[in-house]
């Protein structure tokens, strides 16, 4: 298995700085976020979901994929994937990303469903809407030889391996797959990793990993205690990381595990900590 980091973690670094940092620390690859900076965030402080220094838009990626290819080659950092947030019904955007990904030989582009689950629209309606949207998106990506991945993520219609498999099994695994997210499933949709991975089989295209733990909120007047999730070191989180690694090895997974860590700590400190723990866990599994 190889270790990458999502560049969503590094909003204060440009492309060159990102590749240089990950290479120096010993990472094998980078999962690159490619998107437009929201208009409301332009000029604001750098933020993973707002303003970013690496302003590399889908248009730039489609027109100049060699920029990403060159920096990856020079720093010996593989392109682990393209972490876009494009919805499946935005076909113009998908074509730009597919064109760039094909030229850069990126293993996948992340594509999200048109809508998340928020109790306002019936899940079955969202499922059919997503099925129609991804079918059209796949007509585009198929022509470029690019694979789409959906991410198991809190608040979506893909929170578990069972729900993700129900969706992707309508399509060919060579054309669509799943980002098996070990950070998100702890919060919503957990299933024993070995069983989940056996179910998903050839649809597993990438893995995300980050630590999290449950914390109680102040007790309410009626005695109720609500709980919330906070980021944590991999060694201290709820997930049994070492068992998850053993399960990944057991099913023959040999692609990237991509670190996602949004704790309010110095970026380099987090990257070093996660890499050291993961290297040791993989070696001992």
Distance between alpha carbon 85 and the CA centroid of its chain, in Å? 10
At residue 70, the pLDDT reads: 98
* Domain assignment of residue 36, given as a range: 2-284
Arithmetic mean of pLDDT, 274-283: 97
At residue 285, the pLDDT reads: 86
pLDDT tens for each residue of 200-222: 999 999 999 999 999 999 999 99
Q: List, as one string, the DSSP characters of the chain.
A: -EEEEEGGG-TTS-HHHHHHHHHHHT-SEEEE---PPPGGGTTSPB-TTSB-S----HHHHHH-THHHHHHHHHTT-EEEEEEEEEETT-HHHHHHHHHHHHHHT-S-EEEE-SS---SSS-HHHHHHHHHHHHHHHHHHHHHHT--EEEE--TTSS--SHHHHHHHHTTS-TTTEEEEEETTHHHHTT---HHHHHHHHGGGEEEEEE--EEEEEPPPPTTS---EEEEE--TTTSSS-HHHHHHHHHHTT--SEEEE----SS-HHHHHHHHHHHHHHHHHH-
**What gap in Å lies between CA 225 and CA 241, rounded to an integer?**
28
Number of domains comprising the chain:
1
pLDDT tens for each residue of 83-96: 999 999 999 999 99
pLDDT tens for each residue of 13-43: 999 999 999 999 999 999 999 999 999 999 9
Q: Has residue 223 got a pLDDT over 90?
A: yes
**Percentage of the chain surpassing pLDDT 70?**
100
Mean pLDDT of the chain: 97
Arithmetic mean of pLDDT, 126-139: 98
Distance between alpha carbon 99 and the CA centroid of its chain, in Å? 20
Confidence of residue 117 (pLDDT cuts 50, 70, 90): very high
Q: Biggest alpha carbon distance in the chain? A: 60
Q: Has residue 100 got a pLDDT over 90?
A: yes
* The pair of three-digit structure tokens given for residue 273, joined into one six-digit string: 């900590």
- pTM for the model stands at 0.96
- CATH assignment at residue 212: 3.20.20.150
């Amino acid at each position: 298995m190889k270790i990458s980091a999502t560049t969503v973690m590094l909003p204060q670094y440009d492309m060159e700085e990102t590749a240089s940092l990950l290479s120096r620390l010993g990472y094998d690859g980078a999962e690159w976020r490619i998107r437009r900076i929201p208009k409301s965030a332009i000029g604001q402080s750098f933020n993973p979901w707002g303003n970013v220094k690496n302003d590399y838009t889908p248009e730039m990626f489609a027109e100049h994929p060699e920029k990403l290819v060159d920096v990856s080659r020079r720093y010996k950092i593989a392109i682990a994937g393209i972490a876009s947030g494009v919805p499946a019904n935005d076909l113009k955007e998908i074509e730009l990303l597919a064109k760039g990904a094909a030229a850069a030989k990126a293993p996948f582009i992340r594509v999200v469903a048109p809508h998340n689950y928020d109790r306002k629209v019936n899940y079955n309606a969202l499922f059919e809407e997503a099925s129609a949207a991804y079918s059209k998106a796949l007509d585009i990506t198929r022509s470029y030889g690019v694979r789409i991945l959906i991410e198991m993520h809190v608040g979506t219609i893909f929170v578990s391996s069972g729900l993700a498999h129900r969706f992707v099994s309508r399509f060919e695994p060579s054309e669509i797959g799943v980002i098996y997210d070990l950070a998100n499933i702890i919060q919503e949709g957990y299933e024993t990793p070995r069983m989940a991975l056996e179910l998903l089989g050839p649809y597993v295209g990438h893995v995300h990993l980050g630590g999290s733990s449950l914390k109680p909120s102040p007790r309410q007047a009626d005695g109720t205690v609500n709980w919330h999730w906070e980021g944590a070191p991999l060694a201290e989180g709820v997930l049994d990381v070492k068992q998850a690694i053993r399960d990944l090895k057991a099913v023959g997974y040999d692609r990237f595990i991509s670190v996602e860590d949004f704790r309010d700590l110095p970026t380099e400190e987090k990257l070093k900590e996660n890499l050291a723990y993961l290297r040791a866990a993989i070696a001992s599994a």
